[in-house]
Amino acid sequence: MLTPELLPRLQQLLTDADLDGWLLYDFRGTNAIAAGLLGFGGLCSRRVFAFIPRTGLPVGIQHAIEPGPWKQWPKGWPLRVYSGWRALESELATLVQGKRVAMEYSPGDAIPYLDRIPAGVLEMVRASGATVVSSAELVSQVYATWTPAQLASHQRAAEHIARVARDTIAHAGACVAAGTPAAEHELQQRILEAFERAGLLTDHGPDVAASENAANPHYVPSASRPRLVQQGDVLLVDLWAKEPNGIYADQTWMASLGTPATRVVTVWEAVRDARDAALTLLRDRIAAGEIVRGGEADDAARAVITARGFGNDFWHRTGHSIDARELHGSGPQIDNLESRDDRVLIPGVGFSIEPGVYLTGEFGVRSEVNAYVGDDALIITPGEIQQELWVV
């Protein structure tokens, strides 16, 4: 959140980027980045702006009817009030006219997670005499990075959910061996109960999917359409959770109920090797102090799966940002398929690495770990990642 303590660092970043300021905008939750930085809670039903200048104090523009969202705005910082559109546009012009300002804007919608400003608002800001550029790098540096305490929280959650995943898969195998196979939704509930006992939180899920259902990356098990996990199935377990006020850990684990078919092993090895290709690229470039971008890691993973003959069955990006506020965060994505994310992976950002192959009507395979960029090394969670397809 934007605070007097954060302001000097942010203003130095603006100076380094040759920006006159960062212009935040929100209306009815259209810009979660702005709302998060301003500490807004609940619905913001009127347009708001906040201008963070390279020097001097930030200035907010608040609607007269709605002071509530500004409760955490520091008392010594100016807060201008408007009610009509003429006053709003006039106040805005006095702040940004002739200035080069950053906004949550991505040219050509290249990075959808960043592209939060409506076209009409961009037109209004430009008509006020401002030059608008993307806030992409500022978002990475200020909004998406983790603190050391958040990294430690993530690592604890990661080790715990890895244990839960292993327990769930072992339980599925034991149920089959006993002749009483469990349904997907029953295994899902077992995971949720384990999270509750551990004091971990999740917003939805997890995903437990057998064979043909695992070929749907966004499958959701349900008691209304129970599917037993039986001998011969491929089992995908995707689970995510965090400590209260912590950073999410997000993992996917794979198993076979009984000896897997050769085709299953072939796909598993392609996915595992793609995951490791992305991690190796990142690890080597970061250790060497070289610039690396999420799209490059996506390309590395995709090249492996394509070379193995499954390129058309890898439908999604290799990974998503994980930030302090969201599981699917606003920092750099590991993506050169769905979007063109060319942001640098800077120290402090975290993300998933999760290539997958989805053979509709047969089975799907995904292997997911998380990674964090340290000052000179890539930190991967959990500490022990899956190397072989589990057979239970």
DSSP structure string for 78-129: -EEEE-SHHHHHHHHHHHHTT-EEEES--GGGSSTTT--S-HHHHHHHHHTT
DSSP one-letter code for 381: E
Q: Of 158, 313, 160, 166, which is closest to residue 237 (Cα–Cα)?
A: 166
CB atoms within 10 A of CB 177: 13
pLDDT of residue 84: 97
What is residue 62's three-state secondary structure? strand
Tell me how far the alpha carbon of residue 31 is from its chain's centroid. Answer: 15
- Calpha distance 389→385 (Å, rounded): 11
The predicted structure's pLDDT at residue 284: 98
Orientation angle between helical segments 85-96 and 119-127, nearest 10 degrees: 60
* DSSP β-ladder status, 350-353 and 207-210: unpaired
d(Cα 109, Cα 369) in Å, to the nearest integer? 28
Contacts for 58 with CB less than 8 Å, ≥ 6 apart:
2, 7, 50, 51, 52, 77, 78
Report the run of H or E that residue 251 belongs to, with start and end.
Answer: strand 249-256
Rounded to whole angstroms, the Cα distance separating 231 from 162 reads: 23
The C-alpha angle 33, 35, 39, rounded to 5 degrees, equals 120
Residue 140 corresponds to which tokens in the numbers above?
């990475």
Supply the pLDDT for residue 247: 98
What kind of architecture, by CATH, is found in domain 148-391? Answer: Alpha-Beta Complex (3.90)
Pick out the chain residues at pLDDT < 70.
none
Q: Which are the contacts of 293, defined by CB distance < 8 A and separation ≥ 6?
A: 332, 341, 342, 343, 344, 345
214-245: pLDDT as tens digits:
999 999 999 999 999 999 999 999 999 999 99
User: Which residue type, as a one-letter code, is found at position 47?
Assistant: R
Residue 333 pLDDT: 97
Strand arrangement, sheet containing 350-353: 321-322, 350-353, 369-373, 378-381
Q: What CATH number has the domain spanning 7-143?
A: 3.40.350.10
| CB contact at 8 A, 270 and 305 | yes
For the chain, residues classed under CATH 3.40.350.10 are 7-143
Sign of CA dihedral 54, 36, 125, 46: negative
**Share above pLDDT 90 across residues of the chain, in percent, rounded to a whole number:** 98
List every span in the chain annotated with CATH 3.90.230.10: 148-391
pLDDT, residue 44, reads 86
State how far Cα 14 lies from the chain centre: 24
Q: What is the pTM of this model?
A: 0.94
Contact 106, 134 (CB under 8 A): yes
Alpha-helix residue ranges (DSSP H) falling in the chain: 7-16, 32-38, 85-96, 119-127, 136-138, 148-177, 184-198, 262-287, 294-307
